[in-house]
Amino acid sequence: MPKHALSFKHLIATSSKQQQHRPAPERSVNDLLSSSRRAQPQQHEAQDDAAGRQLPPHLRGQRVWAPSAVDPALEIDSGAVHPGELLRRAEQAHRAAARSVAGPAPPPSWRPSTAKPSETGPPAPPDRRATTYDLLSAAAVLGDNAASPWPLKGAPRLVDCCVGLVLKLLHSTEVIADEDGAGRMTLGDAVLETTRELDLRLRYLVIRRAALLPHGDPQRLADRQIRGLLEYDAGARASVQQQVVEDDDDWDALGDTDALPHLALTTHPSPIPLLRDVPRMQALALTSLDLAYCTLPADLDRLVAVLPSGLRTLGLRGVRAPKPSDVTNLWVHGMNSLGRKLIVLRTLDLSEFPATSAALLTLLKALLQPVGTHLPSLRVLGLAGVLDQDESNATRMVTKRAVSEILKSDGERTHWVEVLWE
């Protein structure tokens, strides 16, 4: 090598000095995230090695509650959280993060297709109010003898006039007693207290008369009034039993088994709280229930849980659904539970059911099949008004034939089931 060749060592020294004085470049967000992710496993591994076991991701760095053998009450104020609550918080945060992903919105073709109500079937009919004639028709299917409290011709009976007067006085707000210590009592409260001395059949006529009134009528009974009418007056029962002569042939003696078999809760916005109190009502031995034009919950199992298993007639005519377009998905499991529970049911009215023909067939399959365990005693099935009037006669015949095949269940149902289409 010639002596005049340069080694460039002086340049190397100057460049290193310039690099030392140059400020460090600013780290991006991605760099910070990646470095933190690389550091977390090392910290967790060190903590896990110290603890002697592998903790789930949602428990790392948290103060986890554990039962103490000495005194569990001492750890209440320590701020520890139950592992189940930590898991719920982690899953909730994960779902929230999945719904709010950064970046542009995905195209419509990537989203799950949700069919419109117009595509799944005909539009839901407008929510019309049930008239007295509709409620009478629903009661006639169930065979209620007191369905028509008013005579078609001639003057009303004396008992009908008395029932109407009692129903009017129950809603009276006239103050009859206003004492500082006892409080204020209205005429309606006083009449409600005295009606418990009436015969059960008369009290039933009051309830049935109010159930035939359309929704929104001021004389319809509230839940508190229905409970009051269905309660026995223990003092009156004891006094009557003491006065009755011990005679086996006394036909008008007030026996211990006097109870009403029928209850009508038509057009009720939420019948479940009242049905939950039915087992505690001594005046009821319920075998017939009319829930015509009531609003049922989305979870139909809640209604099935409070229904008496000994029902022989059940009216669900024109019931309201929370979402008419999702009746099939919401009520399939509930219909299956209903068919398994009511094994002695003989009459079921599903007229004006809020579902399309295809959805109704799906619900009937869940309700009636298999025959051995789902409504084996059914004799009458009401399906009036379930067929769409805009459909052709051929389509209606196909639907009727499909319902007949579901009822037969390949010959497993040995008895005849009458279907009421009108």
Structural domains of the chain, with CATH: 128-238 (no CATH), 296-422 (3.80.10.10)
Contact predicate 141/380, CB 8 Å: yes
Query: How does pLDDT run across 322-350, given as a tens digit for each residue?
Result: 665 566 677 888 898 999 999 899 999 99
CB burial string 196-229: b at 16+ within 10 A, e below: bebebeebbbbbbbbbbbbeeeeebbeeebbebb
Residue ranges in the chain whose pLDDT is less than 70: 1-23, 40-54, 58, 61, 63, 65-80, 96-128, 144-155, 179-183, 232-258, 322-328
Q: Partners of 418 in the beta sheet? A: 380
3-state secondary structure of 288: strand
* Helix segments in 259-418, DSSP class H: 272-276, 300-306, 327-341, 357-368, 393-408
User: pLDDT at position 348, please?
Assistant: 92
* Exposed/middle/buried for residue 346 (C-beta within 10 Å: 0-12, 13-18, 19+): middle
Q: Tell the residue number behind the tokens 């002697």, with chain if given.
A: 52
- Residue 288, token pair as written in the block: 């017939």
Contact predicate 389/352, CB 8 Å: no
pTM across the whole model: 0.62
* Exposed/middle/buried for residue 169 (C-beta within 10 Å: 0-12, 13-18, 19+): middle
Q: Determine the Cα angle at 309 with ends 306 and 313, to 5°.
A: 100
* Helix segments in 249-326, DSSP class H: 272-276, 300-306
- Give dist(CA 238, CA 248) in Å, integer: 18
- Give dist(CA 135, CA 314) in Å, integer: 14
User: pLDDT at position 387, please?
Assistant: 82
User: pLDDT at position 184, please?
Assistant: 76
User: pLDDT at position 151, please?
Assistant: 52
